[in-house]
Amino acid sequence: MEKYPWWTEYQKKLADEVEAFALQIAPRALELVWKREHPADLVKMVGEKGWFGVLVPEEYGGMGKNGGVTSSAIITEGLTSVGMLGGLFFSTQFGGVKQLSKFGTPEQKERWLTRVARGEVIGALGLTEPFVGSDAAGIKTTAVKDGDEWVINGKKRFITNTGVANLYFVYAKTSNDPKDIQGRRHLTAFVVERGTPGFSVERINELAVFDAVRNGTLNFNNVRVPEENIVGGVGGGWNVMTSGLNFERLMIAVCMVSAMREALRNALYFTERRVQFGQRTIDFESNQYKIADIIMRLKSTRLLCYYTAYQEDLGNNPIIEANAAKIMATELARECAIDALQICGGDSFTKYYTVEQLLRDTKINEVGGGTNEVLRRLIVYIYRRLFSTEIPQPRRRIHKELRIPIPYFEPLGRKVPKSQATTPEAMEKLVLEALGEDYFVNPGLHMKREELMDDTGLSEEQLDETLLSLEEKGLVDLWRDRHGVIRLAKATYEGLNKAKPLDFYRWYPSWSREEERF
C-alpha cells in the first residue's frame, strides 16, 4: 500500500499491518463468499486488533489520536481488497460510531462505543426506506413520545448488515410541524438494539452485488426505545445525519480505490500469463493502454481520497472533495473494471476470477451513499454558495479603442457615485444604456441586478421600480427567482433600439470587405 509523506509513522505502520492481514485472510474470505456465510471469525480477528475502535476516543477503548479518518481509510482500503469484510467494517463506522463519537453523551459512549472498540458489536445505518431514498428529509418512519419512551413505526430497506448487526442507528420523524420540517428539526436519531420487541428483519435481499454481505429490510412495529437512546437530542437528527455524510462518501470512495487496485491486480496477473499469437497479452499495446488508464485512475483518485481524509482529520469540512471523491472513485472504478474485463477476456465472466464481481460492486456504489446525480447538484450548490470567490468572475466591458469585450476582474461594489437621477425617465435611461452596453459584450446573456446597480448608481428600490416600469413597456425581459426577486435583466429588441443608436452595436473586423458591410 502506497504511503503518503504527510502520514504519521503510526499510519505508515498501520498500512503495512492491514495489507499483511488482508493477504493472510484472502483465502478464507473468498471461501466465505462462496459459502455465503457471515465472516464472524474474521470480524473477531479485526476486533482483536482494535481496528473497530478507529473512530473511538481512547478513554472508551478506541485508538484515540492514532485513529481518525485517515486511519479508517487505510483499514477500509486494505480490508476491501478481500471483499465483504471492508464493507462490513466501514458500515459499522458510519452506521453509528462516528455519530456517537461526536454527538453521544458520556453514558452512551460508555455503553456502546466500548463494545464497538472491542469488536463485540456491529453497526448498521437505518436511513433508506421503501419510499424514501435520495430525499432523506422525507423520512416516513415515525417516533412518538409515550412517557419516557419513544414508539417507532415504519420500515427501512437496503440496510447493510441487516440481521448481523447488533446496533441499528435509525432516523425517524418526530414532528409534523411545518416550521420544524422547513428548519430540518423534524428528524431524530435513535439507537435500536437487536432483540428489542417489535423490531424484526422483514427481508434479506438476494443481491446482484456485494456477495455474502447481508442487506435487507427492517420492520418497526410499535418498537419502544428509551429516551436515553436518542443521539443528538430530539429534532437533531438532520444535523447528526449530515455530519456523517462526508465520512460515508469518502469511505465509499476508498472502497472503490481498493476495487481499482484489484482490477489492476487481475489485469497484470492475467496478461503476464496469457499467450496469444506467440506473445504474452501484456505486450499488446491495446492492453497496455488499458492498464495505463487503470493506473492513472487509481493514482489520482487515491490521492484525492487521502487528501480529503487529511482535511477531515485537521477538523476542516472538505464537503466538495468528499462528494467529488465519491463520484470520481465510483465512476472511474467502473471504468477500471470494464477495462479489466476486456483485458482478461472470456475468463473474466466466470466467477473463478473476481473481475466480474468488481464491475457489479463498483456500479452499485454510483447509487449508494447518495446517487452521483444528486451529489453533482450538491457540489454545484455548495461551490456557488461557499467557494465561488476562488475563481473570480469578470466584468466584461467595451475597450474604448478596439471596441471589443475585455474582461476586468474587479469586485462588485458601486463604481459610479450614487445616481443623481430623480425622475423615472432619467432612471430608465440609465438602466437601458447599461443594458445596451452589456448587450454589446454579452449579446446572449442577461445582466445581474448587482451589475446594474454597479453601473447605474441606483439603489435596490430605485432599480426594482425602474425595471418593473420598463418591463411593463416591453423594453426589458426579467428573470425572477423562486421568491419573486428580480435577479437578471436584458433589453428587448425595442429596448436596445431605445438604449443606443444602431451604429453603436455595429462592429466589423478589420479584414472584412466594404461590400460585406451594409
Report the run of H or E that residue 156 belongs to, with start and end: strand 149-160
**How far is residue 304 from each of residues 39, 103, 438, measured CA to CA in Å?**
31, 28, 40
Given 129, 248, 437, 451, the catalytic residue: 248
The rounded distance, in Å, linking the Cα atoms of 244 and 86 is 18
Beta-carbon contacts of 256 under 8 Å, excluding residues fewer than 6 positions away, are 301, 329, 330, 332, 333, 362, 365
Q: Answer yes or no: 248 catalytic.
A: yes
Q: How many CA atoms lie within 13 A of 513 on its CB side?
A: 2
List the Cα angle 102/83/132 in 5-degree steps: 55
Burial 62-97 (b: 16+ CB within 10 A, else e): bbeebbbbbbbbbbbbbbbbbbbbbbbbbbbbbbbb
Exposed/middle/buried for residue 102 (C-beta within 10 Å: 0-12, 13-18, 19+): middle
CA end-to-end span of the chain, whole Å? Answer: 70
Q: How many CA atoms lie within 13 A of 215 on its CB side?
A: 18
Q: Which grid coordinates belong to 495?
A: 429596448
The answer to whether 123 touches 158, Cβ cutoff 8 Å, is no
Beta-carbon contacts of 112 under 8 Å, excluding residues fewer than 6 positions away, are 96, 100, 104, 121, 167, 191
The rounded distance, in Å, linking the Cα atoms of 130 and 139 is 10
Provide the annotated active-site residues: 248
